[in-house]
Structure 1
Amino acid sequence: MHHARSLTALLLTVLTLLAASACASTTPGTGSVPAASEDGAFPVTMTHRFGTTTIEARPQRVVTVGFNDQDFALAVGVEPVGVREFLGYPAPDRPWAPEGVRGKQLPTVGSQDLDLEAIAKLEPDLILGINSYIDDEAYGLLSGIAPTVAQTADYPEGATPWDKQTEQTGQALGRSEQATKIIAETRAAFDAAIAEHPEFEGKRAVFLLGSSAAGFYNLGADDYRTGWLTELGFDVDAKGGEISYEKLDTLDRDVLLGEGIAEADFKRDLVQQLTVVKEGRYVGLGAFDDDFAAALGFNSPLSLPFLLDIAVPRLAAATDGDPATTPAPYLG
């Protein structure tokens, strides 16, 4: 997801900026890292897919270059001084954001491509890129600006579970206690849903993401955006992929979820004749620019409880065995 061309072209400029910033005094951004951080946690060495990164002292100016890393920093009480744009979504307005950042325009450091000049100008002392999809070259350039934490090699690229990402973020920021607390609170939301709806266990679910003239994309367990479903007890296909309308009947399971599905495509005969649709077991979760889609993409301990509030009642209506109780469509 990162283009090496833009990084290489900016290398000389970034090195110049770094030389200049090294001669200047640095004042931490107001409120960027609360004083309650666990100073005793430093120095800390983080292991990741590119090697190790040692963070000598409590970070004061954190830039997040992972697509969803800003949410994880905020979840443990740290406001980044710069963030990566994600989903073309107005992130400061997301309903699960902490009150302190609602409506605030945090400086951005790129979207699909990272802007190394912008990152260097922010004078970070830590760069968080756990969900950044960076390669070796990008990592080398970023770590030349500041200590950089990337994804571990324990999971496929971009597939770090939310709780593990929270743990890593807390460790890097000296906020492990806060990370443990927010993980427990988020797991409690899952536990409450599971206790209230034991019927979810073992149900086979299909999650269709987007539609086109050719068909749909079926999200599998290899995509982190199905993790919340499996945590609730649902079974999903091990691997996702494109599925044509002609083969859609192979996905006629216990419950069908859809996000970003065009109304015209959903009304096609090959879709409407599916048993799961005829029996009212389809859960429509809105468009790509709705809050649910953003909560799904951020997949953070802040956004997941919001996601559950929307999805769980609709999943309950789809799996109660009563065709008369059809899930209400989510309208954003």
Structure 2
Amino acid sequence: MLGSLRGTRLAAALASVLMLFVTVAACGSSGSSGAGPEKQPTAADKAFPVTIAHKYGSTTVKAEPQRIVTVGLTDQDSVLALGKVPVGTTEWLGGYKGAIGPWATARLGGAKVPTVLKDTGTGPQTEKIAALRPDLILAVYGGLTKTQYETLSKFAPVVAQPKEYNDFGVPWQQQTEIIGKALGQEAKAKSLVDGVEKDFKAATEKNPEFAGATGVVATPYEGIFVFGSQDPRSRVLTDLGFTLPTDLDKVIGDEFGANISKERTDLLDTDAVVWIASDPAKDEAKLHKDALYGDLKVARQHREVYLKETSDYGNSVSFVTVLSLPYMLERLVPQLAAAVDGDPATKVPAPAS
């Protein structure tokens, strides 16, 4: 009986070895075994994994993301420009459907409008973000705390704001390129940036008086709030050739902007001031009645550009993205040209529709 059992075990072992050999041979065969051809990696597959450094370390995106949530307040524009539609966006300005401004709506195509999340002042809506089942969370133009970053990282890879800049201070060029890398589209992102930079170059070549002119962006919020050199709005002026006030960052400190004291109203005495106002006509009248501001040369010579902050144009000035900039430059450049033409009688025109 023992001999019979050994024989049975030997036969079973030989059968197993034979089956394994046949299986391996079939898998490795390139003939007519019925196995299909190997799936060739796509260009998107080859771009991954990618690792992106940011304020809280680095994040690796292992595969092309399909369900993107933007926590960064303007990151959706870069995603749309790169041919993808987020499943979730964070509302900031305008109350637009899907948090998509008019300069970007054409990029939606026939896709479903993103779910809009709100930053209520306590940070991202974690539960709602988790419910969207993201495979990538973008917070490039943002101010995530480390705790918020760690919480969101439990649901998906998170690309936080870069450490080289203040919170909400990333330049639009870097924002576009960081998001391009996260989506496996570095070359396309660079091409988009180059295209908008050509718009800036064209504007400066047409208006050589911008070079060396001084300018500043401000809003009459709780007094006077001035934007610093690391704010994207200020960078629009410097990208056009303007120079910011010398003491600006010294007064503002390590922030994107700050309210200035009455004693530093002199910071506004530049060749042009861009005012982002809730009611341009009323705010202009109020500012000009102020003894300190109204006596400045920039005010007396009406070298000011007043924008309605809740208009599409006003929102585009605050967005400063690869998609909003062409829309904004078309309107802002003629106004700045009128402001710095050297003739106090020149009236700054209303923005193009």
TM bracket, shorter-chain basis: 0.7 to 0.9
Q: 1:184 corresponds to which letter in structure 2? A: D
- Give the secondary-structure state (helix, strand or coil) at the position aligned to 1:300: coil
Shift of 1:139: 0.8
| 1:248 has 2:265 as partner | yes
Residue number among 64, 69, 76 corresponding to 2:75 in the alignment: 69
Tell me, yes or no, if structure 1 residue 228 matches structure 2 residue 236. yes
Is 1:58 the equivalent of 2:64?
yes
Structure 2 counterpart of 1:294, from 315, 338, 347 = 315
SS at match of 1:109: strand
* Compared CA separation, residues 149 and 249, structure 1 to 2 (3 A): closer
Q: Superposition pairs for residues 32-51 of structure 1, below 5 Å?
A: 38-51=44-57
Alignment partner, residue 128 of structure 1: 138
Partner residue, 1:96: 103
Change (3 A) 1:243 1:91: farther
Q: Provide closer, same or farther for how the CA distance between residues 256 and 132 of structure 1 changes in structure 2, counting only shifts above 3 A.
A: closer
**Alignment deviations for residues 183-235 of structure 1 (CA, whole Å, 9 cap, x no partner):** 011001101001101110111112221344xx311222132221110011101
What is the deviation of 1:249?
4.0
Q: Corresponding residue for 1:278?
A: 300
Alignment partner for residue 208 of structure 2, among 198, 202, 212? Answer: 198
Contact 2:94 2:312 in 1 (8 A): no
Cα pair distance change 1:37/1:129, threshold 3 Å: farther
- What is the percent sequence identity of the aligned residues? 39
- In structure 2, runs of 5+ residues without a counterpart are 1-41, 253-257
**AA in 1 matched with 2:79:** A
Larger Rg: 2
Deviations 1:37-76 (A, max 9, x none): 7321101111111112111111111111111111111121
The correspondence of residues 108-123 of structure 1 with structure 2, limited to 5 A, is 108-112=116-120, 113-123=123-133
1:15-34 alignment runs, 5 A limit: none
Q: State whether residues 37 and 173 of structure 1, in contact with CA within 8 Å, keep that contact through their aligned partners in structure 2.
A: no
Instruction: Name the amino acid aligned to 1:328.
Output: P
Query: Which whole-Å CA distance do the structure 2 matches of 1:253 and 1:100 have between them?
Result: 38
- Say if 1:195 and 1:98 are closer, same or farther in 2 by CA, change over 3 A: same
The match for 1:166 is 176
TM-score where L is the length of structure 1:
0.82
Of 112-121 and 311-320, more deviation after overlay is shown by 112-121
Cα deviations across residues 71-103 of structure 1 (Å, max 9, x unaligned)? 111121111011111125315562211414389
Take 1:330 and 1:272, find their aligned partners in 2: how far apart are those partners?
A: 24
In structure 1, the gaps of 5 or more residues are 1-35
When the two structures are superposed, what TM-score results if normalisation uses the length of structure 2?
A: 0.77
Q: Which moved more, 1:149-158 or 1:235-244?
A: 235-244
- Aligned CA-pair RMSD: 2.3
1:219 partnered with 2:241: no
1:175 is matched with 185
SS at match of 2:137: strand
CA pair 209-60 structure 1, distance change in 2 beyond 3 A: same
1:280 to 1:81, Cα distance in 2 relative to 1, 3 A: same
The number of aligned residues is 295
Higher relative contact order (CA 8 A, sep 6+): 1
